Amino acid sequence: MTESYGLRTINGQAAHELARELSFPRFPGSEGEARARRLLRERMEGLGYGMEEQPFRYDARRTEILRLTSPLLPFAVLSGLAFLSARAPLLSASAPLLSKWAPLLCWIAATALLILALSLLRWPWLETLFEGDRDSSANLIGRRPPDSFREKPGHRPAVYFVAHVDSKSQPLGIVARGLFFSALTLTSLAGWVLLGLRGFAPGAVGGGALAFMSFLLLIFGVPLSVNVNGNRSPGALDDAAGCSVLVELARILRARDDLPYEPVFAFTGAEEAGMVGASRLAERIARETDPSRCFFVNFDGPGAGRGLLALIHGFVRAENRSPILRSTRGSAVARAAREAASACGVPLHVVRLVPGAGVDGVPL
């Protein structure tokens, strides 16, 4: 099947066949992941691209432990503080001042823990958890040879087209994970509010309400805490489809000498281990090139549903109003994506990244 979008001719059948060929278990660091890289390298070199394999080492044990234990932390914190708050009246004889302020102190402790957790959920800090050499993977980078450019490479901005090679299996699908994560987050905030009411207005909230919130946190946290990774998924959609789209895009752009940018094709490794390959790629770009002249288009799960789905995450500063934060939905990148899709007649839907999910676009 061949479809024409504007000036670009896409061989959808070729992309589909390659995606099927890549659809076998490819857990980070496994022989399946290495086999997929070899296949992609062969295809890209057949198109005339120069390929560079960039190996890296990491240790995913700390992040895996954190991923499986953190869903139970809200339950442990709320139930523990609720227990201490309920025992405060017993101190009325020996420590009346502590008995009076114990509920408020519990809420302050919960607030401090919440602020600490939010401050640690930043990607530069999370990257340090992967330090080590227990596991290994590699990024595969493809560039056109210098004779494809009218001027020397590096004189124009680089656009990195990114897709991850590896795959993983989990008992919970991405939608279920998002629902449980959202429920856990909202229930945690509700418990924090109830603790605050108990501290500022003694008697307004009984122990039963906090016990019920703790029970809900346990119900929502346990499925996430047993959602272990495995190597059973063929990863056709996530992300053999993205890799096949990149190869087809590379075929189209190989003969284009009029591009205002330098196309670079990055097949990243260990995305399912915590976007490690994308992080290593970002570090390398920061060391060796000018990051301000590098742009990234991440393909993760193309072919799901109808049309294109643009995932966004985080916030950006609004134009001319630097203190004000607004969603990337209104950013220049999102607008450019809509305009390009509209010009090509391709349906585009811009949505937020599912809570609890991660893609290579986060570290990049």
- What's residue 317's pLDDT? 34
341, 348 contact by CB (below 8 A): yes
pLDDT tens digits for range 143-177: 988 765 545 555 788 999 999 999 999 998 878 88
Distance in angstroms (rounded) separating the CA atoms of residues 159 and 288: 15
CA distance 238 to 165: 9
**Domain 16-59+132-169+229-352 listed as CATH 3.10.50.40:** no
Quick: pLDDT tens for 89-132: 555 555 565 556 667 777 788 888 878 877 776 666 777 888 88
**What pLDDT does 57 receive?**
95
Quote the pLDDT of residue 319.
36
The mean pLDDT of 201-212, rounded to a whole number, is: 79
pTM of the model: 0.82
The better pLDDT of the pair 346, 317 is held by 346
Query: Token digits for 251?
Result: 């075929």
Where along the chain do its domains lie?
Answer: 16-59+132-169+229-352, 65-123+173-225
pLDDT band at 42 (very low <50, low <70, confident <90, very high): very high
Euclidean distance between CA atoms 196 and 234, whole angstroms: 47
Helix axis angle, 31-46 to 241-254, nearest 10°: 20
